[in-house]
Chains A and B, each alone.
Chain A
Amino acid sequence: MVPVTDLGMDPPIVEAVSGETTHGFSIEGFSAGNIDLGDICMKNVLAMARAYRKLGLDAVIVSDESIYRRGFVPRFLDENTFIDEWGRVMMTRSETKTTWWVGGTVKTSEDLENYEPPDANAPGRMEVFEAVVKEVGEDMVVAAGGHTGFSLAWRIRGGIDKYIVDVYTNPSFATKLMDKVARACLEWDKAIMDTGVEMLSLTDDYAGTDGPFFSPKLFREIEIPNLKRVVDEAKRKGLPVLKHTDGNNYPILDDMIEAGISGLHPMEPGAMDIAQVKQRYGDRIFLGGNVDCRWTLPYGSEEDVRTEVRRVIDAASPGGGHILMSSNTLHANVKPQNVLTMIQEARKYGKYPR
């Protein structure tokens, strides 16, 4: 049977499929002094893990973006915007209980000098992963989402456009920032991999719809050494590495595979062709994806979803080496009924041999 999972599930989907309540947060709760962001995240991640289990999925992937150490109180800039532990400016939306990046805090050389990434080995830092392993680890594979630092670095900088200008006009600043963040991410990934998870997914995006953010030459200088370090560490610990990146990654795919990744997600529809990747690279990497979550899962009919699942299985599953997933995450705009249909169709159609 083709295994099924997903890179993540937003709170509205967790609530719809499981009936459990998830928790949002805003400045009011912190002002009242009765919210611990680490505690909120623990509850939300465990609810998500139970939702995965209720859906009968084969694995749950817990992102390191979900975790805050217990007792962490963010500095709010306004009602819904705060600075997280990595120095990113994040916005939270109460209707969907989702949080996303909107800005950064490293603007000058002095900021960079004073910048301290969060300590991977702070007490209780990894307890969310340990708790998920304990909660659902006997029923499914528990995987973790980590980073090499590529996307964290430019988010901390305030945007990829600012980081790009640094690369061209202030390369020593760009290098120092990326090194600082990448070293911290390596420590995080090492600690994550020691919590009992069985796979590491690296989630830094490398590309947009048209192609990688940087030329292959620059990509090899900026990112490949960091990717290789994390992959080598994963291999030492016996864990496969699923590399997630949106967009068209064809120009840098050989480099990523040479660096040692075990699998690739999602081969974003419209940017890459999962059938083509299967044909060219299917003997070297496994594929994760790529049921469309920009249109089909949020707006498609039941038949649209079933057709899409069959398309993906026909393209990627023959001979094995495929995990059925959405093309990004089960985000807040996705129709919960379509998630159920996706899994149902995958179980019906995704049988081996094929």
Chain B
Amino acid sequence: MLDRLRDAILNFEIEGVQKTCKDALSLGMSPVDIVTKGLGPGLAVVGERYEKREYFLSELVMAGETMKKAMEVLDPLINGIEHPSLGHVVIGTVKGDLHDIGKNIVSTLLKAAGFKVRDLGIDVPAAQFVKECQAAEKCILGMSALLSVSMPEIGNVVTELEKAGLREQTRVIIGGAAVTEEFGRQAKVDATARDAILGVEICKGWSTS
């Protein structure tokens, strides 16, 4: 069954994955195990192939979309269960920016890796990021910006976190086509991820450190 779940992701079975998940549930697998031991490893293989440049954005998107389909069945079941997680992640695209493909892929990969993810969507004002980080008490904050004109908003969010006294306990990671390492240093974030796979690895590293 674990192989079938993994293969559903590897073969981009966007139309069949929900049945595969239901079959796994009926065999007594827990929804958390379906994600972390079945689907998640499939996503990890896709990620490795992407990093090796054997796969491209199209394969990453298909794997992500297949995973999202699976999560439609599994999320309602997982949300009701207390389970250990790698930590809380609050993620969103900054105010003024409506692009979300990369952010959506990261969100999906983080869930599959075992994080509790609160995805705030797009055009997220600083106050909302701060409010969610406050509610999570300790979290990783992920921000995405595709447009150059949106980048100053990242610095704004970091400033608001400082004002709210949350900066110490919040690890901030940014990504998106517009951001660079130099900008990340200027904005005083903790990490700048050049792609979704690396972003997830950085978050996993923080979780275990």
Contact = CB atoms under 8 A, between A and B. Distances in A.
B126 interface: no
A213 B56 contact: yes
Contacts of B194: 209-210, 270
B101 interface: yes
A299 B186 contact: yes
A314 B48 CA distance: 36
B176 to A, nearest CB: 10
B148 A294 contact: yes
B183 A215 contact: no
A159 B65 CA distance: 13
A238 interface: no
A251 B50 CA distance: 13
A213 B58 contact: yes
Size category of the A interface is 35 or more
Interface stretch (A17-25, A32-40, A92-100, A223-231): A92-100
B162 interface: no
Contacts of A98: 149
B62 interface: yes
Given A164-B57, A294-B183, A332 B195 contact: no
B182 A251 contact: no
Size category of the B interface is 20 to 34
B195 A168 contact: no
A44 B45 CA distance: 49
Interface string A189-215: 000000000000000000011111111
A191 B96 CA distance: 35
B180 interface: yes
B183 A299 contact: yes
Contacts of A112: none
A169 B104 CA distance: 20
A7 to B, nearest CB: 14
Given A209-B194, A295-B180, A215 B61 contact: no
B202 interface: no
Interface string A309-335: 000000000000000000000011100
Interface in B112-156: 147-149, 151-152
A340 interface: no
A209 B147 CA distance: 14
B98 interface: yes
Contact of A164 (B62, B98, B179, B182): B62
B49 to A, nearest CB: 11
A1 interface: no
A303 interface: no
Q: Which of A169, A295, A299 has the most CB of B within 10 A?
A: A295
Interface string B159-180: 0000000000000000001111
Interface string B60-95: 011011000000000000000000000000000000
A210 B53 contact: yes
B44 interface: no
Contact of B58 (A218, A251, A298, A333): A218
B65 A165 contact: yes
Contact of A210 (B58, B151, B195): B195
A161 B183 contact: no
A215 B182 contact: no
Contacts of A275: none
B180 A165 contact: no
Contact of B57 (A160, A165, A169): A160
Given A93-B96, A299-B183, A214 B56 contact: yes
A333 B150 CA distance: 9
Contacts of B148: 293-294, 298, 331-333
A100 B177 CA distance: 15
A76 B98 CA distance: 17
Q: Which of B58, B59, B149, B177 has the most CB of A within 10 A?
A: B58
Given A93-B96, A209-B194, A246-B177, A161 B65 contact: yes
Given A98-B149, A208-B57, A333-B151, A161 B101 contact: yes
A91 interface: yes
Nearest to A294: B180
Contacts of B58: 164, 167-168, 213-215, 218
Given A165-B65, A251-B53, 15 more contacts: A96-B149, A100-B147, A102-B98, A161-B101, A165-B14, A168-B12, A208-B195, A210-B53, A213-B56, A214-B56, A246-B177, A299-B182, A299-B186, A331-B149, A332-B149
30 contacts: A93-B96, A96-B149, A160-B101, A161-B61, A164-B58, A164-B62, A165-B14, A168-B12, A168-B62, A169-B14, A169-B15, A208-B57, A208-B177, A208-B195, A210-B50, A211-B53, A211-B56, A213-B57, A213-B58, A214-B56, A215-B56, A215-B58, A246-B177, A251-B53, A294-B183, A299-B182, A332-B148, A333-B148, A333-B151, A333-B152
Interface of A: 91, 93, 96, 98, 100, 102-103, 159-161, 164-165, 167-169, 208-215, 218, 246, 251, 270, 293-295, 298-299, 331-333
Q: List the 9 shortest-distance A-B pairs measured between CB atoms, nearest first.
A: A102-B98, A333-B148, A213-B57, A295-B182, A164-B61, A164-B58, A295-B180, A161-B61, A161-B101
